[in-house]
Structure 1
Amino acid sequence: MVSYELTIYTGKEASAITVNSIYIKLVGTKGESDRKWLNISPIFWGSGTCSVDCECTLGQLILIEVDKRTWFLSDAWFPEKVEIKTPEGDVYTFPIYCWISDSETHRFREGKALRIYEEENPLGQYARKQELIQRREEFRWDEYDSRLPYNIEADGIYALPPKDQFSWTKTIQFFITGLYGKIGNILKNLTENRNNWKSLDEIHNVLSCRTSNLYDYVQQHWEEDNFFGYQYLNGLNPILIRRCKTLPPNFPVTDDMVSFPEGSKLCNELKNGNIYLCDYKNLEGLPANTVLGKQQYLTAPLVLFHKRPDDKLMPIAIQLKQTAGEDNPIFLPTDSTHDWLTAKIFVRNADFTEHQFNTHFLRTHLLAEAFAVSLQRNLPMVHPLYKLLIPHTRYTLEINKLGRGGLIGPTGIITLDAGSGGKAITQFMGRSMSDITYTSLCIPDDIKERDMQDVPNYYYKDDGLKIWNIMYKFVQKVLEYYYKSDDDVLRDSELQTYIGDIFKKGFLSHKKRGFPQSFTTVTEMVKFVTMVMFTCSCQHAAVNNGMFDYAGWMPNYPSTMQCPPPTEKGTTSEATILATLPPVCITAQINNVVWLLSRPPSDFVALGHYPEEQFTEEIPRLWQRKFKAELEVLIPNFKIRNMDIKIPYTYLIPNSVENSITI
């Protein structure tokens, strides 16, 4: 008789424990144990120990089988891992990290990562195959709109696989945070007030109950040209602006419209690389929404910027529609104060749409969901890439399900309260999807493609590139540990199925956009995996975490415009601006949303932190520790930099970046 010593680790969350009976079976190369009732109750947080006796040694342990039996009360159990010490003194670790809520038999592999062509044992091959069959039933593709990446099929959040649902703690916090904001608005009689604002001071007085350091700065400086330009480098949408060497033919800015220091001409500034452009062309012709029974208005602006000798980026010309003409004047800083401010407000409204539906929702949330579903459908838990990427999918499926319903669904807040809500949403995202290229998702390539490499005070670029380089090295070291040659990549059929699935369902088989359809080299794989990790962590943090800072003060980021854009100069005033901005109730609703979506969750997991020990080998775990350590070096560097600048850029400080999209 030989004895195997087991240590079972249960999750620390309150709901992770169970009162049900737990059974386990050990399976090895020389046999298997009897199905053993664990004579310890998993009514604990932490760990418990027990032993499993066998008549003879089981050889190398391949997997464990775990099942849960209900006697009088059914509840889910969240085991983290099982460690087994063999009679020979070897220790095997079986990562689990999932909810067991049914009475089915669940198989879990020993923690050493294996690619499919290394799977020599028939039991391992069978378990691998069955795992993916089951996962493809749990993670089924669904088509929300034919122009957008596919998403998971689930009839509500409670139909999602248990591991991908919010924890009890996060659910309660999410509910209370949202409820707190709504109650505040109700008490102030905001949600039913359909009147327009009487003055900008009134907006400030009503919304002053919520604040942040940057929110206060935005409220004080939102009308300034310098701050208007700054936001295109370090605000909510830092990926739209690009250097302009030749003016678009539909934007006829001339020398007599603009002036430059020392008498320079527009052609010289273009040639010297000091002119930048933002083009909202994908908004052209979209059907504007009807909000509170009133027709709203959308514009598709072109904005020209000039980098001055003092490195400030200043707007110098704004055209609110794509087609030049007498009824579409080019607004200039030399126009009346109200004309110029009105033009900038319409641009900020266009940026609300561009940011919310393209930069934020499409390019991070929806793509991350496609990455997550493909990972679950095609790679078993024992696969090295699954172990590397699974931490970056946490909670993404539920937050996306909530977003599709609560924000852009038929009764969603954005659908009802944004000028681009309703039919325009999917039409705009479809256009934006057609514009996404592989290079635009990889920050080094994107910066180069937009010719923004040497732009000063571009902290999104500076911080993002530093993190990308550290992340790339980490991914490279981990994957090169498992893939010694390009031939190893080609031989991994699961890996090829995974990237092929993303190409078809995530990138909709757009062959001309540069997306990989397969992996032929280790280098190709490393770059793609780095892009996935960066998108699911840093890119989302850069475009999400400042939403209250920049959009909380409504005039800086209005969700809708109640009046059409001016067709001639000299027709605006403070009264027309107030009549154009969203009414009180819409302001309150959007303010509550951006406040909620900017709150860090209580169970926040920072980039580079891996509380779930998916890897059991020492080498990849070593590289995880080095990755975390290199990110931590950046933290004081970024903070010291921020002490010397007027507007601190904090969104990519590593301990402010979450590992996955959870909000």
Structure 2
Amino acid sequence: MAEYKLEVTTGAMQYAGTSDYMYVTLFGTEEQSERTLMDNYGVDFQRGATGSYTVKTSLSLGKLLLVKVEKDKYLCLPEDEWYFSKMVVTTPEEDVILYPCYRWIGRGEIVELRGGRAMKAFEEDHPLLIDHRKNELMLKKSLFEWKIMAEGIPHVNNFNDVSELPAEIRFSDSRLADINYSRAMTGIELKVKGLLGSTAEWESIEDIKQIFWYKKTTMSEYVADHWMEDDFYGYQFLNGVNPGVIKRCSELPTNFPVTEEMVKPFLEEGSSLQKEMEKGNMFLYDQKKMDGIPPAAYNGEPLHVTAGLCLFNVNPENKLMPIAIQLNQQPSEKNPIFLPSDPETDWLLAKMFIKNADCMDHQSVHHLMRTHFLAEVFAVAALRSFPVIHPMYKLLFPHFRHTLHINTRGRPDLLGPDGVLSKSSLGCVGLMELMRRDLSEMTYSSLCLPENIAARGLESIPDFYYRDDGLKLWNIIKSFVKAVVEHYYPSDSEVHKDTELQDWISEVFTHGFLGNKAAGFPAAFHTVQEVVKFTTMVIFRTTVQHAAVNSGQYDYSSWAPNAALLLRKPPPTTKGQSSMKTVLETLPNVGETVQIAAMTWLLSDRYTDYIPLGTYPEERFDEPEPKQMIKEFQAELSYLSEAITSRNSHLERPYTYLDPAEIENSVSI
């Protein structure tokens, strides 16, 4: 008689347990066991519990291949899904094998689990496992299908509602409750105050500070107090929510005729525009890709979108200062160059219109498309291409955990006819065109932070904490990915032979980058190092980059004068004609302002089931080597977190968004 010892763990989340009968069958190379009821004295399969069970067989089953688990009703009790985390089987030969599941199981459902070492397709040597792998992928390809949301935009998943998603990739009930509660409480406060839906205009800048009673952060209050200051304006292009747009300027664009006389008063004494460019102290914001996109209508009239240019200088105090702004691409008498020496509200309005364009670019391109939508492409391609036993699935899945849920839920909330972004100066149609233009110009190197920083000439600009923290995180992630990938792919030939890996990158190339070969994106993998680089980019983008462009949204964007998606009046075309009354009339009205503020609170809040970068509560790897690699990865992240915390303690404006402890392990909000 042979005995197989089973340790079965139920998930710890709400409602994870079940009262139903659970059966198990073990399949080996020699035999299969009897269908065995897992039943101990008392209540089995309680939330967060691990139960021990024994399966007895007359002989050893040989090498274990599969574990089949079935759920059957108990008496006449109503259905209660079971969250099955994992099973650990100890064989008569003393082999200890992990069988990860981490999914919900319904009544009458059969789940077959693979255990042991992560396996690539060409390594399979048993017909049962080859068939199981093939059938798993056929099922997943039929479940996860592609859909075209709009021409020229990355493709999306085919689910129309989150209720259609498989339970294991949906939000937990507790996270949903958290989000819904936060949304409800925010709405109630704004209704009680009479702000929600109000078409009134703000009577004073100070009134905007009263939107929320308690929803304040140290940084959001700092922004409200310092938003008009030029040095803080420049700081935001380095360490605000859109740190990926300015570039070093060694030669002024021909359509931006800034002269020496214009800017000399704002440069270091004795210096000149040419000298500052030669020293690497000049930087440019240029929103030319927005030029010509028709704006949205407001009260029947078209709004105004400024595809402007802003010139910055790093001054002797190492502050990035705006020194010249042109609000449209083509210079003319009605498109003057604004300077810090102009009347205060003229300069203020010019800065606001540049930030308006930057806000729309941030939300649609750098936040939605370059993190959320690309993360969805990486996820759907992985779900279609990799069986759960594949090493790349085990490595990548934790970084896609809730992406399909938040994207499926969020798309109509943001981009639907009544979505929040429909209230922007470009409207949803214009923002979609902006995304389309950006994707057509996007390059592989622009998604890889070291190359991105070098291409923009930002290697030495001072106090650029996004760069400093981001590059360290890129290297930590790359070191971890390199160790794991090289463990499973010891040679380039292994990469060539892995058809599932090739399917993944092919689907990403086709559905994410729309087959744009000129942009440098790989359509296939030829070397181990190509896999390492691309996987590093994927994990960085779904964790670090998303944190950089998402986590500070309430801090920087809830204060409408600092970052307005909508500006209602046209930009100034002559100098000396504006006042603070003009500024208030230009800002969104009360209802529009609070709607954006409420959205940024929801996007920046932290919810139940928050999983920091490098934390893997789901145990998927069974081998000691990747487990050790994860520990080393976590240790490096911890060291960096301590260093960032120490640095921030000395800063007037702490940069916390890329502290590993503050970065979520997947795009989840």
Deviation at 1:272, TM superposition (A): 1.7
Deviates more, 1:374-383 or 1:37-46: 37-46
Inter-partner Cα distance in structure 1 for 2:606 and 2:212: 21
Out of 400, 406, 410, the position equivalent to 1:403 is 410
Counting only pairs closer than 5 Å after superposition, residues 368-517 of structure 1 correspond to structure 2 as 368-415=375-422, 417-517=423-523
What SS does structure 1 have at the residue aligned with 2:103? coil
What SS does structure 2 have at the residue aligned with 1:5? strand
Deviation at 1:408, TM superposition (A): 0.9
The aligned counterpart of 2:626 is 620
Q: Give % identity.
A: 42
Deviation at 1:206, TM superposition (A): 3.7
Map Cα deviations across residues 37-56 of structure 1 (whole Å, 9 max, x no partner): 22243234221111111121
Deviation at 1:208, TM superposition (A): 5.3
The aligned counterpart of 1:79 is 84
- Return the letter of the residue paired with 2:176: T
What SS does structure 2 have at the residue aligned with 1:211? coil
Inter-partner Cα distance in structure 1 for 2:139 and 2:338: 59
Out of 280, 285, 296, the position equivalent to 1:289 is 296
Inter-partner Cα distance in structure 2 for 1:198 and 1:92: 68
Map Cα deviations across residues 251-304 of structure 1 (whole Å, 9 max, x no partner): 111111111212322122112211101111122122222346564321111111
The aligned counterpart of 1:242 is 247
- Return the letter of the residue paired with 1:540: H
Quick one: structure 1 residues 77 and 294, their matched pair in 2 at CA, closer, same or farther if it must change by over 3 Å? farther
The aligned counterpart of 1:652 is 658
Map Cα deviations across residues 603-622 of structure 1 (whole Å, 9 max, x no partner): 11111111111101000000
Inter-partner Cα distance in structure 2 for 1:118 and 1:230: 53
Counting only pairs closer than 5 Å after superposition, residues 67-216 of structure 1 correspond to structure 2 as 67-70=70-73, 72=76, 73-101=78-106, 103-207=108-212, 209-216=214-221
Inter-partner Cα distance in structure 2 for 1:170 and 1:570: 52
Out of 603, 610, 620, the position equivalent to 1:604 is 610
- Return the letter of the residue paired with 1:469: N
Map Cα deviations across residues 315-335 of structure 1 (whole Å, 9 max, x no partner): 011111111111111111111
What SS does structure 1 have at the residue aligned with 2:321? strand
Inter-partner Cα distance in structure 2 for 1:104 and 1:210: 45
Conservation of the 8 A alpha-carbon contact between 1:297 and 1:560: no
Out of 561, 568, 576, the position equivalent to 1:562 is 568
Inter-partner Cα distance in structure 2 for 1:50 and 1:635: 42
Q: Is there any run of 5+ residues in structure 2 with no aligned partner, and where?
A: none
Conservation of the 8 A alpha-carbon contact between 2:189 and 2:212: no
Inter-partner Cα distance in structure 1 for 2:14 and 2:317: 56
Conservation of the 8 A alpha-carbon contact between 2:90 and 2:97: yes
What SS does structure 2 have at the residue aligned with 1:487? helix
Inter-partner Cα distance in structure 2 for 1:436 and 1:148: 12
Conservation of the 8 A alpha-carbon contact between 2:13 and 2:47: no
- Return the letter of the residue paired with 2:60: T
Counting only pairs closer than 5 Å after superposition, residues 501-540 of structure 1 correspond to structure 2 as 501-540=507-546
Inter-partner Cα distance in structure 2 for 1:220 and 1:331: 23
Deviation at 1:640, TM superposition (A): 1.3
Inter-partner Cα distance in structure 2 for 1:278 and 1:164: 39
Conservation of the 8 A alpha-carbon contact between 2:15 and 2:47: no
Inter-partner Cα distance in structure 2 for 1:65 and 1:292: 62
Inter-partner Cα distance in structure 1 for 2:108 and 2:260: 76
The aligned counterpart of 1:641 is 647
Inter-partner Cα distance in structure 2 for 1:661 and 1:100: 25
Counting only pairs closer than 5 Å after superposition, residues 270-349 of structure 1 correspond to structure 2 as 270-291=277-298, 295-349=302-356
Conservation of the 8 A alpha-carbon contact between 1:197 and 1:578: yes
The aligned counterpart of 2:38 is 38
Inter-partner Cα distance in structure 1 for 2:472 and 2:217: 27
Out of 38, 58, 77, the position equivalent to 1:55 is 58
The aligned counterpart of 1:360 is 367
What SS does structure 1 have at the residue aligned with 2:22? strand
Conservation of the 8 A alpha-carbon contact between 2:478 and 2:536: yes
What SS does structure 1 have at the residue aligned with 2:25? strand
Q: Is there any run of 5+ residues in structure 1 with no aligned partner, and where?
A: none
Conservation of the 8 A alpha-carbon contact between 1:218 and 1:549: yes
Quick one: structure 1 residues 206 and 613, their matched pair in 2 at CA, closer, same or farther if it must change by over 3 Å? closer
Inter-partner Cα distance in structure 2 for 1:28 and 1:612: 25
Deviation at 1:309, TM superposition (A): 1.8
Map Cα deviations across residues 144-174 of structure 1 (whole Å, 9 max, x no partner): 1121111110121101121111001100001
Inter-partner Cα distance in structure 1 for 2:406 and 2:211: 30
Inter-partner Cα distance in structure 2 for 1:84 and 1:335: 75
Inter-partner Cα distance in structure 1 for 2:261 and 2:130: 74
Out of 209, 234, 237, the position equivalent to 1:229 is 234
What SS does structure 2 have at the residue aligned with 1:549? helix
Q: How many residues align?
A: 662
Deviates more, 1:68-77 or 1:165-174: 68-77
Deviates more, 1:135-144 or 1:16-25: 16-25
TM-score by length of 1: 0.98
- Return the letter of the residue paired with 2:380: V
Quick one: structure 1 residues 293 and 167, their matched pair in 2 at CA, closer, same or farther if it must change by over 3 Å? farther
Inter-partner Cα distance in structure 2 for 1:288 and 1:560: 11
Quick one: structure 1 residues 170 and 44, their matched pair in 2 at CA, closer, same or farther if it must change by over 3 Å? closer
TM-score by length of 2: 0.97
- Return the letter of the residue paired with 1:478: V
Inter-partner Cα distance in structure 2 for 1:414 and 1:627: 38
Conservation of the 8 A alpha-carbon contact between 2:68 and 2:111: yes
Quick one: structure 1 residues 68 and 463, their matched pair in 2 at CA, closer, same or farther if it must change by over 3 Å? same
Tell me the C-alpha RMSD between the 2 structures: 1.2
Deviates more, 1:27-36 or 1:644-653: 27-36
Inter-partner Cα distance in structure 2 for 1:436 and 1:36: 55
Conservation of the 8 A alpha-carbon contact between 2:84 and 2:101: yes
What SS does structure 2 have at the residue aligned with 1:615? coil
Deviates more, 1:124-133 or 1:287-296: 287-296
Inter-partner Cα distance in structure 2 for 1:583 and 1:207: 16
Deviation at 1:413, TM superposition (A): 1.9
Deviates more, 1:580-589 or 1:638-647: 638-647
Inter-partner Cα distance in structure 2 for 1:256 and 1:549: 37
Inter-partner Cα distance in structure 2 for 1:425 and 1:106: 43
Inter-partner Cα distance in structure 2 for 1:468 and 1:430: 27
Inter-partner Cα distance in structure 2 for 1:650 and 1:165: 28
- Return the letter of the residue paired with 1:383: H
- Return the letter of the residue paired with 1:471: I
Inter-partner Cα distance in structure 1 for 2:302 and 2:484: 55
Inter-partner Cα distance in structure 1 for 2:73 and 2:300: 54
- Return the letter of the residue paired with 2:481: V
